[in-house]
Structure 1
Amino acid sequence: MTLELFDYSPITHRPPVSWPDGKKVAFYVGLNVEHFLVDRPSTSIWPLDLVPDALNHGWRDYGARVGVWRTIDILDRYGVRASTLLNAMVAEHNPQIVEAGVERDWAWLAHGSTNSVLHTAYEPDEERDILTGITDTIEKATGKRPRGWMGPALTETWHTPKLLAELGYDYVLDWTNDDQPYALNVPGMLSVPYTVELNDLGLFLRGLTGPDFLQMVKDQYDVLRADSEHSGRVMALALHPFVIGQPFRAKYLDLALEYLAAQPDIWLTTSDEIADHYRTGVSHTVA
């Protein structure tokens, strides 16, 4: 099967991308704010098949009860507005988190209903109904209609981008194959860079330490800054409050954002703003 959603485009063969005020690297935090079903298997620290699964569900639930609030304090310290990957069920089960994000003018992206159910194997009519319900729920809770999508575990069907476009979305994060936004072969839709590499869930569950994480954030920025001399780049940092919100890890998120916020060539922004500026400035030369 041929993938028709996007075309191959080497980064060295494109018009230069510019960011506001001559900045070189557009940086955003993808904050995963998720709801998990207690009777379904999901992201786990220990591979067990139990119902109820107190060990793994409690580990995940720490994020909503404690970890996200610690993470919010750190983001506030450095003036970083989250690009919030929101499970629609959070609006019902953890409305205080949504209220905190509304107060801070976070960007809101749809992230399915719950991370206990992947967004796969739907027929188009069923999927349209599901996406409409997710979108309406998030809009009602946040006061803003989401424009970006990332499926639970970055899942889509063959129809998802087209259906999202019908609902007013204009970008997805699921295809983590670039350091710049690019147009999809669905009218009006972009892919905006996300990351499964600089992602606390994958890093820390593989055994990396806080100092390892800090060094990786610094290295990621430094190389992207060097790459961006003639065309801007995007740096995403993917966070899960039940992982990065643990006290011994949060310390290193603080240090990482302190480093990034001090860089003169970084644009601290959101995925919504990256998509907007790319659309209007893709043909401009980096200052």
Structure 2
Amino acid sequence: MAHDNALFDYSPITERPPLSWPGDAKVAVYIGLNIEHFLIDRPSTSIWPGTADLVPDALNYGWRDYGARVGVWRITEILDRHGMRASALLNSDVVHHNPQIVKAGLERGWAWLAHGRTNSILQTGMDPEQERAYLTEVVDTIAGATGRRPRGWMGPGLTETFQTPGLLAELGLDYVLDWTNDDQPYPLKVPGLISVPYSVELNDLMLFPSGLTGPGFVQVVKDQFDQLRADARTGGRVMALALHPFVTGQAFRAKYLDQALAYLAAQPEAWITTSDEIADHYNRTASPAA
């Protein structure tokens, strides 16, 4: 049976009330840092498909594991250099397997979003009760480790079921990143839940495997910000920069991330913030008609 989209209405960005950010900023910028756990006997994100179905798949598992062992620490140092906090998209299994990463994020005041249990397993195909138990476990695990319940959600692989938004609202979450279809937050048809922009384009996992160079990455970040700043003459915009420690955390890419963040940090019209704070400000100030 075909389904129409019942989660959100079509809203052209040209027909909305103006959206403002603190300090008259034009673009709200956040760093979506994917902090993920992977199972050794399941296929997942791969740099080389030729071994992706092997068990164990040392090549691809090792590439992904580099992020937790090395890459995230390199990115953390660069974020610190520019005074930026991550919006941490956290697999709850990281709490058990890589607690040092959670500790480092807590020391830096990162925002914590629920990002499923592991990126090796998606919740697609779960019935509502299975998914309710799954989401409850993910949220409770992150809350126990960070001292606060996550406010935002991004599914592993940006996946949801038709019941996911309602279940997330039941658990007290108030925004999702899965619907990458806008440059502004917007309300969903689930009471209390909004969509906050995320990007599958301004995303290292899409950019670098396509052959983008380090200098090219810096230019892409600059071009994205500059265009959003120009667009913001009719209302504030959101720029989400999506990073994966096993991609941008590689040594030869570090200086280019540093250059990109230096550019963003130097922009007086940028509000360098977190996805939590974007959601808060939108909920406080946006017109119900937005």
TM range (shorter): over 0.9
Instruction: Tell me, in whole angstroms, the C-alpha distance in 2 between the residues paired with 1:283 and 1:154.
Output: 28
Q: CA deviation at 1:282?
A: 1.4
Residue 90 (structure 2) pairs with residue 86 (structure 1): yes
Instruction: Tell me, in whole angstroms, the C-alpha distance in 2 between the residues paired with 1:209 and 1:257.
Output: 16
Instruction: Tell me, in whole angstroms, the C-alpha distance in 2 between the residues paired with 1:136 and 1:283.
Output: 32
Match of 2:192 in 1: 188
User: Which of 206, 223, 248 in structure 2 is aligned with 1:202?
Assistant: 206
Match of 1:230 in 2: 234
Residue 38 of structure 1 aligns with an amino acid whose one-letter code is: I
TM-score, length of structure 1 as denominator length: 0.98
SS in 2 for 1:30: strand
User: Which of 4, 13, 17 in structure 2 is aligned with 1:15?
Assistant: 17
Describe the superposition over 1:54-94 as per-residue Cα deviations: whole angstroms up to 9, x where unpaired.
11100000000000000000001111110000000000000
Match of 1:32 in 2: 34
Instruction: Tell me, in whole angstroms, the C-alpha distance in 2 between the residues paired with 1:198 and 1:158.
Output: 26
Instruction: Tell me, in whole angstroms, the C-alpha distance in 1 between the residues paired with 2:197 and 2:287.
Output: 19
User: Which of 245, 250, 257 in structure 2 is aligned with 1:253?
Assistant: 257
Instruction: Tell me, in whole angstroms, the C-alpha distance in 2 between the residues paired with 1:80 and 1:26.
Output: 13
User: Which of 2, 5, 8 in structure 1 is aligned with 2:4?
Assistant: 2
Q: How big is the alpha-carbon RMSD for the aligned residues of Structure 1 and Structure 2?
A: 0.9
Q: CA deviation at 1:39?
A: 0.4
Q: CA deviation at 1:283?
A: 3.7
Residue 176 (structure 2) pairs with residue 172 (structure 1): yes
SS in 1 for 2:234: coil
Describe the superposition over 1:134-177 as per-residue Cα deviations: whole angstroms up to 9, x where unpaired.
00000011111001000000000000000000000000000000
Residue 142 (structure 2) pairs with residue 138 (structure 1): yes
Describe the superposition over 1:248-281 as per-residue Cα deviations: whole angstroms up to 9, x where unpaired.
1111000000001000100000000000001111
Q: CA deviation at 1:118?
A: 1.5
Residue 213 of structure 2 aligns with an amino acid whose one-letter code is: T
SS in 2 for 1:43: coil
Which segments of structure 1 move beyond 2 Å, counting only runs of 4 or more?
Answer: none
Residue 65 of structure 1 aligns with an amino acid whose one-letter code is: R
Unaligned runs of 5+ in 2: none
SS in 2 for 1:267: strand
Alignment of 1:28-67 (within 5 A): 28-47=30-49, 48=51, 49-67=53-71
TM-score, length of structure 2 as denominator length: 0.97
Residue 28 of structure 1 aligns with an amino acid whose one-letter code is: Y
SS in 1 for 2:23: helix
- Share of identical aligned residues, percent? 73
Describe the superposition over 1:90-145 as per-residue Cα deviations: whole angstroms up to 9, x where unpaired.
00000000000000110000000000011211111110000000000000111110
Unaligned runs of 5+ in 1: none
SS in 1 for 2:242: strand
SS in 1 for 2:88: strand
Match of 2:155 in 1: 151
Q: CA deviation at 1:230?
A: 2.7
Number of residue-to-residue matches in the alignment? 284
Match of 1:266 in 2: 270
